[in-house]
Structure 1
Amino acid sequence: MYEETIRSLSVSGVSFAYRRLRQPERITEPVMVLGGALQGMFGWPQMEDHVGPVADVVTADLPGMGSADPLPPGPSNDLMCAAIESIIDDLDVPQINLFGFSYGAGLAYGCARRFPERIARLALGGVPAHISAAQLDLWRRAADHLARGNTEDFATLVTEALMCLDARRHVTRRKLAYRYVRRSMMHAARHSRHAVDSLRRAMSDRPDFSGRLADVPTLVFSGEHDTVTSPDRQRDFAATIPDSRFLTIPDADHWVVLERAQDVADLAVRFFTDAPLSSAPCLAPVEREEPSVTDPACV
């Protein structure tokens, strides 16, 4: 059994909280997990299960997320990074391992650039290194649906925007992932007081992926069918980081952390404990066991 603690902090007058699962026999630095703009501290059970045996696992309701206070108007990246650094301080450790996925990848990368000495290793997945004008327009329409209370249309639009529904490309557990993501978006739309602001801020307050990062061991990974930012663009981003590794995970799209959850968690454990990555299960294709979600019966 792990010891669970939840602590409240504040930065620039904004209150937020983080959750720590302690591992008495840890063999690496604590692993902090940062996810999507609508994802809070209880959204990573698969990482807790697989990373927990080797490290403390840290998740958070950062400012503007979950139970935290809303963010003030204006750019938020500096405040978010200050909040993350205050968590590291409160953990009373010199360094952490940082895992960032999707929106969280931008936060994690920004933090690593601001205080690289506090980051032992950096893992970034589904990096939104390039977002097109058409994608931004889609997200604006999604935010407008949400602001008008059209939760069904919002959930469908966002789910389809984040998934590869091309029947010619195999995505494992596509039907299950579609239903899960859509339910999650419906829940966030109905219960998160930050949902509209989070979406609009994610569009307007974009992280800067053009700067360089050095002296932080970094892994970048992408689902081979990621339609948010293509694997090629994510590979180009990884190439800006000296001595980084880039891996493409077969049979997955942007939701690789859901479609191949155990395999991604295994990859994270290997990376954060300096174990070989070449034999990681996530690099192997999976058996094709289900129809495409684009079939009418699957939607």
Structure 2
Amino acid sequence: MNELNFVIIGDGTRIAYRFDGEAGKPVLVLSNSIGTTLHMWDMQVDELSRHFRVLRYDFRGHGGSNAPVGAYSLDRLGRDVIELLDALGVERVHFLGLSLGGFVGQWLGIHAPERIDRLILSNTSSHLAPASYFDERIAAVQQAPDMSETAEIFLSNWFPASMVAANAPVIEEFRAMLLTIDRQGLAGLFAAVRDADLRRTVVLIPRPTLVIAGQHDTVTAASHSELIAAAVPGARLVVLPAVHLSNVEYPAEFMQAVLGFLR
């Protein structure tokens, strides 16, 4: 089943998802960054699907999923995953989330640990501040004529300046992805990040956890990953010499860490 499929969850929102890999293998859910679709993981899927039944999905507001009007919440994003798993008849999964996907992974580890086997939190944080920054980004996105300026801001935050300047094919791929993002959906997800604060509750995660940090990450600083790894009992920490999208900038090292932990 390699095409895009859809489920309608409890509040009427359509969530897009895709499976790769053979049925019967352990299910690994991949949850991406804000500003991207499930194709953020394209470089990893071939290798991961040799070992797992890989389930990718688009956040509400992005990709093939609906973009309801208004602010979204981390609670709603977490419940989107649970309702997706329920609709697919999947009881328990490994979960790998990067950036916003890592926020969702923490929420699931805290509120639905019975659904998680092993948890990987990459280039993420338990809280990002100040709220005024996200309010400014929401206003800018909603008032802009298109996504062009926002796309360049994201690219400069995600990759080394030299990589963006060289305009490598992967930069063009992510620029094209960003230009398709629904602005209402992006504003809704910005609100979810703005209001999320898991700093006190992250200690409740009982599942085996791997935290991956980017040494040069300016979005979710490596120090944020260190705090998560120190708070979650028994968590491991791996630091890669990356900016924000470690899976794209250092794919071999990223996969080594992920597979070494999951297998």
TM range (shorter): 0.7 to 0.9
Correspondence 1:264 to 2:254: yes
Change in 2 beyond 3 A, CA 1:159/1:136: farther
Equivalent position to 1:148, from 136, 144, 147: 144
Residue 123 in structure 1 maps to residue 114 in structure 2:
no
- C-alpha contact (below 8 Å) 1:142/1:154 kept by paired residues: no
TM-score, normalized by length of structure 1? 0.76
Question: Larger relative contact order (C-alpha < 8 A, sep ≥ 6)?
Answer: 2
Q: CA RMSD in A?
A: 2.9
Distance (whole Å) between structure 1 residues aligned to residue 169 and residue 138 of structure 2: 18
Instruction: Give the deviation of 1:233 after TM superposition.
Output: 2.7
Q: Deviations over 1:214-246 (max 9, x none)?
A: 320000011111112321231122111001101
Q: What SS does structure 1 have at the residue aligned with 2:120?
A: strand
Larger radius of gyration: 1
Find the aligned partners of 1:231 and 1:124 in 2 and give their Cα distance: 12
Q: Is the counterpart of residue 55 in structure 1 residue 46 in structure 2?
A: no
Gaps in structure 2 of 5+ consecutive residues: none
Residue 84 of structure 2 is aligned to residue 93 of structure 1? no
Deviation of 1:256 after TM superposition, in Å, equals: 1.2
Contact 1:188 1:195 in 2 (8 A): no
Give the secondary structure class of the aligned counterpart of 1:246.
strand
Runs of at least 5 residues in structure 1 that lack an aligned partner in the other structure: 168-172, 274-299
Separation of aligned partners in 2, 1:199 and 1:192: 11
Counterpart AA for 1:30: V
Deviation at 1:48, TM superposition (A): 0.9
Offset of residue 114 of structure 1: 0.9
SS of residue matched to 1:155: helix
Q: CA deviation at 1:179?
A: 6.8
Aligned to 1:4: 2
- How far residue 203 of structure 1 moved from its aligned partner, in angstroms, is 4.6
Q: What amino acid sits opposite 1:10 in the alignment?
A: I
Q: How far apart, in 2, do the equivalents of 1:128 and 1:87 lie?
A: 24
Structure 2 CA distance, aligned partners of 1:257 and 1:220? 13
Asked if 1:184 is matched to 2:174, the reply is yes
Instruction: Give 1:59 deviation, angstroms.
Output: 0.5
Determine if contact 1:152/1:186 at 8 Å carries over to the other structure. Answer: no
Q: CA deviation at 1:204?
A: 3.2
Cα distance in 2 for partners of 1:158, 1:231 equals: 18
**Equivalent residues, number:** 261
Give the corresponding residue for 1:242: 233
Return the TM-score normalized by structure 2. Answer: 0.85
The equivalent position to 1:223 in structure 2, one of 198, 211, 214, is 214
C-alpha spacing 1:113/1:197, structure 2 compared with 1 (3 Å): same
Q: Which amino acid aligns with 2:42?
A: P
Match of 2:196 among 206, 222, 226: 206
Q: Is the 8 A contact 1:34 1:101 kept in 2?
A: yes
1:21 counterpart residue number: 20
Per the alignment, do residues 156 and 42 of structure 1 end up closer, same or farther by CA in structure 2, a change over 3 Å counting? closer
- 2:100 corresponds to which residue? 103
What is the alpha-carbon distance in structure 2 between the residues aligned to residue 188 and residue 68 of structure 1?
15
Asked if the contact 1:146–1:189 (Cα under 8 Å) also holds between the matched residues in 2, the reply is no
Quote the Cα distance in structure 2 between the aligned partners of 1:156 and 1:108.
27
Is the alpha carbon distance of 1:97 and 1:177 closer, same or farther for their aligned partners in structure 2, counting shifts above 3 Å? farther
Q: Are the structure 2 counterparts of residues 32 and 137 from structure 1 closer, same or farther at C-alpha, using a change threshold of 3 Å?
A: same
Does the Cα contact within 8 Å between 2:155 and 2:164 map onto a contact in 1? no
- Please tell me whether the aligned partners of residues 63 and 69 of structure 1 are also in contact (alpha carbons under 8 angstroms): yes
Distance in 2, matches of 1:88 and 1:50, equals 23
Higher helix share: 2
Contact preservation (8 Å) 1:106, 1:209 = no
CA 1:21 to 1:270, structure 2 compared with 1: closer, same or farther past 3 Å? same
SS in 2 for 1:87: helix
Contact 1:46 1:262 in 2 (8 A): no
